[in-house]
Amino acid sequence: QVQLVESGGTLVQPGGSLRLSCAASGFIFSDYYMSWIRQAPGKGLEWIAYIRGDSAYIIYADSVRGRFDISRDNAKKSLYLQMNNLRVEDTAVYFCARRLAGRPFEYWGPGTLVTVSS
Amino acid sequence: EIVLTQSPGTLSLSPGESAVLSCRASETIPGNCLAWYQQKPGQTPRLLISGASSRAPGIPDRFSGSGSGTDFTLTISRAESEDFAVYYCHQCGTTPPFFTFGPGTKVDIK
């Protein structure tokens, strides 16, 4: 069955860097657009990054553009989020999710918690 | 960027009652790509409705969606105890894909 499992979340100091991973299984990974979506504690959902199956199209929300990089390795069926210059306001649970064109996010991972604090 | 506004912010229901949740977009959502998610504490969002009105597989028929353009609703008929959660609307129709979510409606037990 479809599975998405995030990893890499931890406590990091402001200004630090972190790399999140999302391992996919149960579907043809390269066929799907993938995104990272985050949720700050007690808050709503915020989409932050998007990558096409062939990695040729990438787009970011204004809140992370220039600091975060999304990438994927289709051979390893993995999605990544390199997060640099982290801020306190980046504290959140980070979810990876898949979609097809014209469709909403159908499957989500359980999320990984990133805490940015000194 | 399309901004989504949800109302009410909180809705108190007794089991067996019905509820109508509203989602309003700041501009027309292309392709009617509007979805509804349910999220319980500590859990991943669960897709309920896509394309404004199509139930996702396995979703009970007490959940129904309607609307087009800028105004959408999610109706929960005869709420059950497992339905108390936060509900988010989400637009997925824009190009470039600057996806957005509404702020959520919390449905709790009266």
pLDDT digits (tens, 9 = 90+) for B5-20: 999 999 999 999 999 9
Cα angle A98, A104, A109; round to 5: 35
Amino acid at B96: P
| Mean pLDDT (whole number) for B31-38 | 95
Q: Do B44 and A105 touch (CB under 8 A)?
A: no
**Shortest alpha-carbon distance between residue A23 and chain B (Å):** 16
Per-residue CA distances from B31 to A72, A76, B34 (Å) = 28, 33, 8
Q: Tens of pLDDT along A13-34?
A: 999 999 999 999 999 999 999 9
* CB nearest to A47's CB, from B37, B101, B103: B101
Q: Which residue of B has its CA nearest to A102?
A: B93
Q: Which residues of A touch B103 (CB under 8 A)?
A: 44
State whether A61 and B50 contact (CB < 8 Å).
Answer: no
DSSP state of B69: T
